[in-house]
C-alpha cells in the first residue's frame, strides 16, 4: 500500500471530482490532505473524520499568499489547531522564485506559523523554492517539532543540510522526469528511513501521466521510480515509507 504525504484533494480542481478521486486511490493507505485556505480545511474535516487512520490534515498558509493573511485568518488557523483536526501545520515556508510577496512578509508569516506549531506540538510541512539558505536558517533558529521538506527539489548538498534537522524528505513526480536535475541523486543519497512519497496533486503528475491532472493514485509511479533508483524491493520500501509517515504522529498518540 502506498503513501501520499502531500495532496490537495480539497482544492477546487479535485474536490469537484472527489468521489472519483477517492475511488481511484484504493491502493493508497496513508494520505495527507494539504489545505492552504479555510474553505479547503473545512472540506477536509469530514474526510478525515470518515477514516482518521487513513486520512490526515495539514493546514497552513502558503508563502505565496502571505500578503493576504490577516490576523483574523491566523486566528482561524489557531482555532483549527485547538480543535485537534490538524495533524501537520503546512505547507509553510519561503518562495523567492517570484518578487511578490516581499521576502520580509514571507519570513514574518513563516516564523509566526513555526511558533504556532511549536505551541501545539505539531509537525511542519515546508515549501522551499529558491530560498534554501533563508529557509534552513529560520528552521534552525525556530523549529522545535518534526519537519517534512515537501516536494524536495534542492541539491544533494542542500538535502544533507536539511537532514541535519532530523527531517523527512518527500519526493514527488519530478523524480520520474527525464530532465530531473537533482532529484535522482537526492533519492539515491537519502536514507530510506527519511524518505516520503507524495503527489502534490493536482500538480506535477509523474511519468507516464505527465501533463495530466495529478491524483493520489499516481503516487505509485513515483514510488516505483524511487525503488528503481535505490535498488530496493517495492514491498520493503512502501512499508518503510509508511513507517516514516506514521512516525510524524508518534508524539500525538
CA 220 from centre of chain = 16
Q: Give residue 228's pLDDT.
A: 97
Distance CA 76, CA 82 (A): 10
Q: What is the pLDDT of residue 117?
A: 98
Q: Which helix (H) or strand (E) holds 7?
A: strand 2-7
Distance between CA 87 and CA 215 in Å, rounded?
Answer: 21
- pLDDT of 251 reads 63
Whether the link from the prior residue into 92 is cis, omega within 30° of 0, is no
**DSSP state string for 127-147:** EEES-HHHHHHHHHHH--S-E
Coil, helix or strand for 162? Answer: helix
User: Is 223 buried (19+), middle (13-18) or exposed (0-12) by CB count in 10 A?
Assistant: buried
In DSSP terms, 160 is beta-bridged to none
Can you tell me the distance from the alpha carbon of 149 to that of 219, in angstroms, rounded to the nearest whole number? 17
Q: How far is CA 234 from the centre of its chain?
A: 22
Residue closest to 126 by CA, chosen among 104, 93, 163: 93
Ranges in the chain, pLDDT < 70: 251-253
What are the strands, taking DSSP E only, across 21-150? 28-35, 55-59, 89-95, 124-129, 147-149
Which position has the grid cell 469530514? 46
List beta partners, residue 58.
34, 88
Cell representation of residue 103: 521576502
Amino acid at each position: 500500500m502506498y503513501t501520499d504525504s502531500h495532496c490537495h484533494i480539497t482544492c477546487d480542481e479535485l474536490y469537484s471530482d472527489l468521489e472519483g478521486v477517492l475511488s481511484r486511490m484504493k491502493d493508497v493507505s496513508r494520505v495527507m490532505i494539504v489545505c492552504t485556505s479555510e474553505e479547503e480545511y473545512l472540506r477536509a474535516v469530514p474526510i478525515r473524520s470518515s477514516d482518521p487512520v487513513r486520512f490526515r490534515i495539514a493546514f497552513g498558509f502558503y508563502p505565496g499568499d502571505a500578503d493576504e493573511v490577516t490576523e483574523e485568518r491566523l486566528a482561524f488557523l489557531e482555532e483549527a489547531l485547538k480543535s485537534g483536526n490538524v495533524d501537520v501545520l503546512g505547507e509553510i515556508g519561503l518562495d523567492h522564485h517570484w518578487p511578490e510577496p516581499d521576502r520580509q512578509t514571507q519570513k514574518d508569516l513563516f516564523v509566526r506559523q513555526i511558533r504556532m506549531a511549536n505551541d501545539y506540538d505539531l509537525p511542519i510541512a515546508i515549501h522551499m523554492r529558491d530560498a534554501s539558505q533563508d529557509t534552513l536558517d529560520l528552521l534552525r533558529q525556530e523549529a522545535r517539532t518534526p519537519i517534512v521538506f515537501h516536494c524536495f527539489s534542492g541539491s544533494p548538498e542542500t538535502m544533507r543540510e536539511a537532514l541535519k534537522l532530523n527531517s523527512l524528505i518527500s519526493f514527488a513526480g519530478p523524480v520520474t522526469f527525464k530532465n530531473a536535475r537533482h532529484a535522482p541523486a537526492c533519492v539515491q543519497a537519502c536514507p530510506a528511513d527519511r524518505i516520503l512519497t507524495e503527489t502534490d496533486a493536482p500538480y506535477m503528475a509523474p511519468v507516464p501521466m505527465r501533463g495530466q491532472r495529478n491524483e493520489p493514485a499516481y503516487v505509485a509511479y513515483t514510488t516505483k521510480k524511487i525503488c528503481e533508483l535505490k535498488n530496493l524491493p517495492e514491498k520493503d520500501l512502501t512499508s518503510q515509507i509508511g513507517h516514516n509517515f506514521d512516525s510524524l504522529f508518534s508524539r500525538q498518540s
